[in-house]
Structure 1
Amino acid sequence: MKRNRNLKIIILGVLVVNLFGLLLGCQSSTKEHVAQASSSQIQQQSNYYPTEEELKSISGIEQAEILTKIINNLEIINKKGTNISQDSKYLKDKYITLLGEHFAINELITNDLIKADINTRKARITKFGEMTAKKTTKDYVDSYVPELEITDKNAKVDDSYIYVTGAVKNNTKYPVYYVKVKVEYLDVSNNVIDSDWTYVNSGDGLQPNAQKYFDMMTRKNGDTKNYRLSVIDFQN
């Protein structure tokens, strides 16, 4: 009887060891599967780029969703450091250009958004989404942009470049940030043949009744006869 009991104990011990080994194997397999899924998801996310139809949306929520995907993807690309493909570098450059032209977000703000905690990032992206949707409406342009006056305009041309200078005066009652000025170069028939843009200021607010100077240097393209300056965006 004692011998049978010992035999049962040995068999039970072997079964427990085998069962433990199976569990470890399953856990390892699960981790590998999750890692592969996460890698696949990151690759899929990093290929995202909004369509023209998405960018035309006048919904602040939809604009914020686009911006969220872009910032998240930039964060993924940045975490790869220098070990990124040419396709990722190209996509990153496209993102930076789109953020500047569509959302009026420069690289400084972009880096701040990437580094921000989840709640801060969400709040700021929501605001940017609302502002991007607003700037497509006539009321937004009529109510705000004319109150930022461009003064002291001047332009000089040499063989290769056009140099444009001026100042923006804040006629509102509130400080304004990231004022974006656009110059359009016109031919003899006032057709636009080229354009350029710059930020007048960034996080340092342009105070009420104050003005700040800007300058742009654009490579000469075609027979430019005139130019036109306008404030196309800002934050308050």
Structure 2
Amino acid sequence: FQIAQAFTRLADWHLTRGDNPQAARATLEEIVQRCADTPFARTAENRIRQLPRDEAELQELRKPRVIRLPSLRETAPGELPVKASAQETADARTEVATLKSRLDVRPDDWKSRIRLAQVLAERLGQIDAAVAELGRVRQLEGLELGLHAEALALEAAWRLKRTTDQPRARQLLEKIVSDYPSTPQAIAARRQLEVMDHPETYRQAPPPPPPPPRIVVRLPEPPAV
């Protein structure tokens, strides 16, 4: 027990203070070898599977996860993204390759898989491939309800803004409301359904006309007496 506890603390130190996932992995592997066929070894093996591969991934995992309520903001269906530059497209493809390599090692890494879906859809325009990744996320065991709702909300947003498949978007929104009513995504989904059902109510008024130009008349100076 003392050996496992000491190595566990050392692994935590490597992660929290040293930002060194490789050293943490080596430390946990010591527990597996020294305490084979014990609960300590099985716990260490589980932690090894969840470790980030490098410091860059560690820093990314530390970033707070933002709930994507803006993905269902009230905008007109069919809104197309601005065409990306060649450099932006190349950067997106590089990120896709990095994320896929992570998922080859840890297929249950839902954060990387959701990020992969976002890059595919929002930066490369590959909606079908992105939806397939979201489907894999929803198949993971033990996934919290909020993540199921988030995956549906992402697909609904893409269907509304990047395709013309409004019927499919409506099905997804209604599923969020019916299956996950207590999630933040359900609040946004209800709002979006109201916009779709009553577009005239939520249509933005045209901007007011600009003020008339200001005309300044300068009178000539009176002659000197």
> So what's the TM-score if we normalise by structure 1?
0.30
- Kindly indicate which of the two structures has a greater share of residues assigned to strand: 1
Higher helix share: 2
With normalisation by structure 2, the TM-score equals: 0.31
